[in-house]
Structure 1
Amino acid sequence: MGTPAAAYRAAPGGALDVDRDFYRRLGAATGERELVQSFTVPIRSGRAWEVPAGHLCRIRTPEGPQVGDLNMWNRHDPRERMWASRTRQLQAAHVSTFDRLWSTLPFLRPMATITADSLADYGVDDRGGRVHDLLGTRCDPYVNRMLTGEDFDFHCHSNLTRAVLPYGLTEFDVHDVLNVFQCTGLNDEDRYFMKASPARPGDHIEFFAEIDLLMALSTCPGGDLSVDLWGPDARDPLEVCRPLAVEVHRPAPELLEGWAPPARAAYAGLHGIHRPEWADRSS
């Protein structure tokens, strides 16, 4: 018996059928873009920033392996946010070039498409690990307190919470993440494992903003995850924490010919609730 087919499959010309030539050109044309913003996110901190539709956002590991926890919202309506679980179903549990990050209901549209990934060839390692994880979520002080009995205020959930405060968002807006540069999988007991990030200095992952985005990134306090955060061998992994760099680029206008921001889901949202017949009668 072979491996079962994916449940959610692309039909030619359908919503999951990505124009790879378009995104390949965008990712390859690094000399035909304008840098409009760049900054570094220090260790154990977070930052939020805007990425206009039609722009590219690249996240880099300037000094070596470091995991980053990424959130994104519609810049104009934060009720629309990245939907990690549906992205796992529509794309993969570990994403790479040409995969898209989808938004929550009732919007359900691609928010961003990956145009470049220097770790795309990592594949599956001998332990079953893969990179750029959607299986797990952010570390947080609530679970840390539950597991250790101690408070720590610089987990990714807290870093993201501080990052979005200037945009009028709160802890309630922080959501399940894409763990960039993080290597994870499921063990023989079907339990989640994390292992050391394989990223090297200068590795990157790049996203094309399909709509106006607010993005937020935490530099995980676990660093490259080569040190256990919890359990009998746990210790402070401060020495394996490194910064992450972010760049926002505007591509040449001719590269965007034929592209338009995706419309929100076509479903009318009635959910079986209908207007009574008399409501449409003239008085």
Structure 2
Amino acid sequence: MAGTAAAYQSAEGGALDVDRAFYDEIATGDREPVESFTVPIRSGLAWEVPAGHVCRLVTLDGPQVGDLNIWNLHDPRERLWASRTRQLQRAHVSTYDRLWSTLPFLRPLVTVTSDTLAGYGQDAEGGRVHDLLGTRCDPYVNRMLTGEDFDHHCHSNLVRAVLPYGLTEFDVHDVLNVFQCTGLNDDDRYFMKDCPARPGDHFEFFAELDLLCALSTCPGGDLSVPMWGPGSDVDPLEFCHPIGVEVYRVDPSLLAGWKSPERAAYGGLHGMRRPQWGR
């Protein structure tokens, strides 16, 4: 139908074209575990993923939503740009999609290599998983809607997680809601519904740069209980579960010919001339 084509497109072999065979080999080839830990319920942790490594997020013992932030390890001004990723990829990401960084860098931070929920598709209510439509829950909105303070929303969990890396609340940014099922209703309003993940489901990505990642286990758990509005007087604590984090070093032979993407080629003058100092 006319007018329904994606707005952002590139030619075959262009910036948006992904070498699927390469990432298939990364997903299925030999790898060595280098780190494994658990993010407890209603908390957040941060960790490093070196370029050329793979990171897997796992629902260990039940459905659980996780809010993911990503930065360039060496320059946190470069970080996940959720809104541009929605335009360049899609609003709900899966295998072969990339998460892009902010201006003036504009390059892939990660490429999704494996997703056990890839077959979920769109459900009868229009819900899809791994959401870039919304963002993290936070104590400011919670106070505005309920008049109460709560210190373990995803924003706060991420703030605490990145403090050891010298980052602050101002560095926390719009997230990828991993394992979260969301969509837009008939009034074009954002909705969240029960997380479809089961024990052992995973979402895995390949680090295109040296990364700092942080994950919050949402205090809403699997989101089967509303966080605000009717029914939100029930504490969903029993529906909260931990998420496992695994980092792997892939077989170096699989990386032959690969290199980290360069930052955007645009010169950054924005129509201005370079200053001429003295004569």
- Post-superposition Cα deviations, 1:131-165, rounded to whole Å, max 9, x if no partner, equal 00000000000000000000000000000000000
Equivalent in the alignment of 2:118:
120
The 1-side partners of 2:163 and 2:45 are apart by 10
Matched, 1:262 2:261: yes
The answer to whether residue 218 in structure 2 is matched with residue 220 in structure 1 is yes
Q: 1:27 maps to what in 2?
A: 27
Q: Aligned equivalents of 2:257 and 2:16: distance in 1?
A: 18
Alignment RMSD: 1.2
Residues in 2 aligned to 1:165 and 1:113: alpha-carbon distance in whole angstroms: 26
Paired residue for 2:65? 67
Offset of residue 64 of structure 1: 1.4
Structure 1 position 240 matched with structure 2 position 239: yes
In 2: Cα distance, 1:42 partner to 1:3 partner: 45
| Match of residue 154 from structure 2 | 156
- CA drift of 1:7 comes to 0.2
Q: Could you tell me which residue of structure 2 aligns to residue 100 of structure 1?
A: 98
Number of aligned positions between the proteins: 278
TM-score, L = length of structure 2: 0.98
1 CA distance for matches of 2:66 and 2:155? 11
Q: 1:145 to 1:254 in 2, by over 3 A?
A: same
Deviations 1:49-106 (A, max 9, x none): 0000000000000101100000000000000000000000000000000000000000
| 1:230 equivalent in structure 2 | 228
- 1:121 positional shift: 0.4
For residues 105-124 of structure 1, what are the alpha-carbon distances to aligned partners after superposition, in whole Å with 9 as ceiling and x for unaligned?
A: 00000000000000000000
Bigger drift between 150-159 and 231-240 goes to 231-240
Equivalent pairs: percent with the same residue?
76
Query: Given the alignment of the two structures, is residue 191 of structure 1 paired with residue 184 of structure 2, yes or no?
Result: no
In the TM superposition, residue 10 of structure 1 has moved relative to its aligned partner by 2.8
Query: Match for 1:191: what amino acid?
Result: R
Inter-partner Cα distance in structure 2 for 1:157 and 1:252: 36
CA distance in 1, matches of 2:238, 2:175: 24
Cα deviation, 1:236-259, whole Å, max 9, x if unaligned, reads 111100000000000000000010
Aligned with 2:86: secondary structure?
helix
Task: Please tell me the residue identity of whatever aligns with 2:200.
Answer: G
**How far apart are 1:9 and its partner, in Å?**
1.3
Q: Give distance in 2, aligned partners of 1:275 and 1:168.
A: 33
2:173 is equivalent to residue 211 of structure 1? no
Output the CA distance in 1 between the equivalents of 2:120 and 2:73.
33
What SS is found at the alignment partner of 1:25?
Answer: helix
Deviations 1:172-197 (A, max 9, x none): 00000000000000000000000001
State the Cα deviation string for residues 169-224 of structure 1 (Å, max 9, x = none): 00000000000000000000000000001001000000100000000000000000
Alpha-carbon distance in 2 for matches of 1:180, 1:127: 19
How far has the Cα of 1:280 moved from its partner? 8.5
Partner AA of 2:130 in structure 1: H
The residue type equivalent to 1:118 in the other structure is T
Which residue identity lines up with residue 235 of structure 2 in the other structure?
Answer: D
Equivalent residue letter for 1:163: A
The runs of 5 or more residues in structure 2 that have no matched partner are none
Residue 5 (structure 1) aligns with:
5
Per-residue deviation, 1:2: 5.6
CA distance in 2, matches of 1:11, 1:83: 23
TM superposition outliers: structure 1 runs of 4+ over 6 Å: none
